[in-house]
Amino acid sequence: MDSMRNHIEKVAKTLGKYLLKCLPLYGGYEEYSAAVHKLQPKIVNPMYVMNKPNPQDFNGLNHCDCWTLRYKSGSLEPAETYFVDLQLPKVASVALDLLYFLLGSTQIDLKIRHFDYFIRYYHDQLIEYFKTLKYPEDKIATLRFLHMQLLKYC
> Do 45 and 63 lie in a common domain?
no
Shared domain check, 91 and 145:
yes
Separation CA 101–CA 87 (nearest Å):
15
Report the C-alpha gap between 47 and 106 in whole angstroms. Answer: 22
* Nearest CA-CA partner of 119 in 154, 72, 88, 92: 154
Determine if the pTM surpasses 0.85: no
Does 90 lie in the same domain as 153? Answer: yes
Which one of 52, 69, 93 terminates a domain?
52
> Distances in Å between the alpha carbon of 78 and those of 71, 106, 107?
4, 12, 14
Residues 87 and 124 in one domain: yes
Q: How far apart are CA 61 and CA 93, in angstroms?
A: 8
Q: How many domains are contained in the chain?
A: 2
> Cα 90 vs. chain centroid, distance in angstroms?
12
Same-domain pairing of 26 and 102? no
pLDDT over threshold 80, residue 85: no
- Residues 75 and 136 grouped into a single domain: yes
Residues 78 and 113 in one domain: yes
Domain encompassing residue 46: 1-52
Residue 72 pLDDT > 90? no
**Does residue 128 share a domain with residue 92?**
yes
Alpha-carbon gap, residue 65 to 96, rounded angstroms: 11
Higher pLDDT, 92 or 127: 127
In angstroms, rounded to a whole number, what is the distance separating the alpha carbons of residues 71 and 128? 20
Point out the least confidently predicted range of 10-19, 26-35, 55-64, 79-88: 79-88
Q: Are residues 33 and 93 in the same domain?
A: no
> How far is Cα of residue 3 from the mean position of the Cα atoms in its chain?
21
Shared domain check, 110 and 68: yes
Between helix 94-105 and helix 108-132 the angle, nearest 10°, is 140
Quickly count helices (H) and strands (E) in the chain.
Answer: 6, 4
Q: Is the dihedral of CA 32, 102, 118, 64 positive or negative?
A: negative
- Please give the pLDDT value at position 146: 93
Res. 67: pLDDT tops 80: no
Closest by CA position to 147, among listed 112, 114, 123: 123
Q: Are residues 18 and 86 part of one domain? A: no
